[in-house]
Chains A and B, each alone.
Chain A
Amino acid sequence: MSAEEKSLVDRCRQGDDDAWREFVDRFGQKVYSIAYHFTLNREDAEEVSQEIFLKTFENLHRFDGSFPLVAWLLSLSRNLCIDRYRRRKREKAFRFVSDDAVLPLLKSDDDPASETLKKERTKLLFWALAEIPEDLAEILVLRDLDGLAYEEIGKALDLPDGTVKSRLFRARAEVARRIRERHEKRGSAGAFQSLALAAGGVL
C-alpha cells in the first residue's frame, strides 16, 4: 500500500473532482473486468461496476491504508459480485455460455483457427466454473482471469494466504476433473454411437 494511494483516497474524500476522476481511470477497467468475469454480460458488468464505485465512494472514510487499494475495493464489492454470480448461476442459461459472452475476452491478434479453439476452451472453462462450488470458482477467477496476487485475494476475501493457495489448487483440480469427466462421457457416447452406426450398417 503506497502513500500515494492513501493521498488519492483522502483527496477523493475532500470532494476533489480531479482525484475522483483519477481514481475512476485507475481502477475502472480493473473493476469492470472483474465484474465481467462474474457476470459474463456487458450490461450487468456496467451496472455492477457502478454499484461498486458508489459503494466505494460512500465508504472512503473506512479506508485506513492497511490494504492494497484494489483489494479493499474488492472486499467492498465482493458481495455484489457473488450475488450476481449466484443469480446468474440459478438461471437456466448459465451453463450455455454464448459466443457473444466470450468474444470480449479474446485477443484481436489471434488467427481465426486459434481464435475458434480459444473460444471453445473459454466456453468450456466458464461451464466448468459454473459446476464447481462458488468459493472455489471465485478464487480461480480472481487469480487466473484477473491476475490478482495471493495477498490481494487473501485481503479481499479475508483469508490467510495458505488457504487461498490450497483453495486455488482445489479449484483447478475440480475444473480439470469436470472437463475430464465430460470428455470421457462424450467419448463413450461417441464410441457407442459409432458402434450403433456400424451395427446398423451391417444389419
Chain B
Amino acid sequence: MSCGELERLFLAGASGEDGRRHTKGCPTCRALAADVEATEQMSAGMQAPPLSPALRSKLLAIPRATVSCEGAERLLSLAIEKELGAEDERRLASHLSRCAACSEAAAVLFTSRELADPIAPPWLASRLTAARPRREKRLWAWILDPKAAIGLAYGAAVVVMLLGFNPADLARRVRAGDIGQNTRAAVTVAESSLSDRLGALQEKVARTFAVWKGRAGGYGRAAVSNAVSLIWKSSGTKDRSSERPRNRDGRGAFREKDTTTVNWRA
C-alpha cells in the first residue's frame, strides 16, 4: 500500500490491517497516525462551555416576548377587532418590528378598515328610482289619469261637433247680449239642431243599411246562381254521347236552340 492510499483510508476512517502493516514500515505515516489518535483522545475529553443562567432565562422568555408568524396571524385578527390584551399586543408589536413579511400583511389588513366608501355616481339614485317596475293600473287609476281625462274630453267634443252643435254659435250669442236670453236661445237652438241632426243621422243610417243590404243580397244571389251554373255545366260536358255529331274538322256547327241561357242576375 502506498502512503497516498493510506491517507485516503485514514480520512475515510478505516485504515484496516493493510494500513497497520504500512505504518510499521513507514515512519512518516506512523507519526501521522499517532497525531490523529492524540487529537481524537483530546476532543473526546473536551466539555462544552456551560450556558449562563441569564442567557437561559432570556431564551425561556422568548415565547412570552414575541410570537411566531402563525401566531401573529391569529393575533392580527384580534387586533383589528380591538380585542387584543396588553401582553399579546406587546408580543405582536415585537414580532412585527422584526418580521417584514408579517409587518406588510398587518399593514394591508389594517388598510382594509381605513378605505373610503366608493361614492356612487350622482345619476345612480335616479336610475335606481326609475328601475322600479310599473305596477298594473286598476280601473280607477285609468279614470283618474289626466291623460285619459283629456282624451275623454276630446272625444266628447268631437261627438258634439259631429252632431252639429257648434259651441262658437253659443259663444257668439252670449257675447251679443243678455246672457239668460241668449242661453235659453242657445239651448233651444241646440235642442232643435240636435233633434234635426239625430233625425238626419237616423235616416242616413237607414238608407245606407238598405243600400248595403241590397248589395249584399245581390252579390249573394249572384254567387249562388254562378255556382249552380258551374255545376250544371260541368255535369253536362261529361256525357258526350248526347252531343250532336261534329263536322270533319271537329268543331261542329253552333245553333241557338242548343244553348241554354242562365239568367243569374236578380
Contact = CB atoms under 8 A, between A and B. Distances in A.
B108 A121 contact: yes
A54 B125 contact: no
A175 B69 contact: no
Contacts of A107: 114, 116
A46 B124 CA distance: 7
Given A46-B121, A57-B132, A122 B106 contact: no
B12 interface: no
Q: Is the interface of A mostly helix, strand, loop or mixed?
A: helix
A180 B66 CA distance: 17
Interface residues of B, number: 36
Give the size range of A's interface with the partner.
35 or more
Interface string B116-159: 11111100110111011101000000000000000000000000
Indicate the member of B76, B101, B115, B129 with the most A CB atoms within 10 Å: B115
* Chain B contact residues: helix, strand, loop or mixed: helix
A49 interface: yes
Interface stretch (A29-37, A76-84, A91-99): A29-37
B111 A118 contact: yes
Contact of B128 (A49, A169, A184): A49
A150 to B, nearest CB: 10
Contacts of B111: 118, 121-122, 125
Contacts of A179: 101, 104-105, 108
Interface in A39-59: 42, 45-46, 49-50, 53-54, 57-58
A173 interface: yes
Contacts of B133: 54, 57-58
Contacts of B67: none
A32 B109 CA distance: 22
A176 B115 contact: no
Contact of A42 (B102, B107, B116, B121): B121
A106 B108 contact: no
B6 interface: no
Interface in B58-82: 69, 72-74, 76-77, 80
Given A144-B80, A168-B77, A176-B72, A33 B118 contact: yes
A33 B73 contact: no
9 contacts: A24-B125, A28-B128, A29-B119, A50-B128, A104-B116, A104-B118, A105-B115, A105-B116, A177-B105
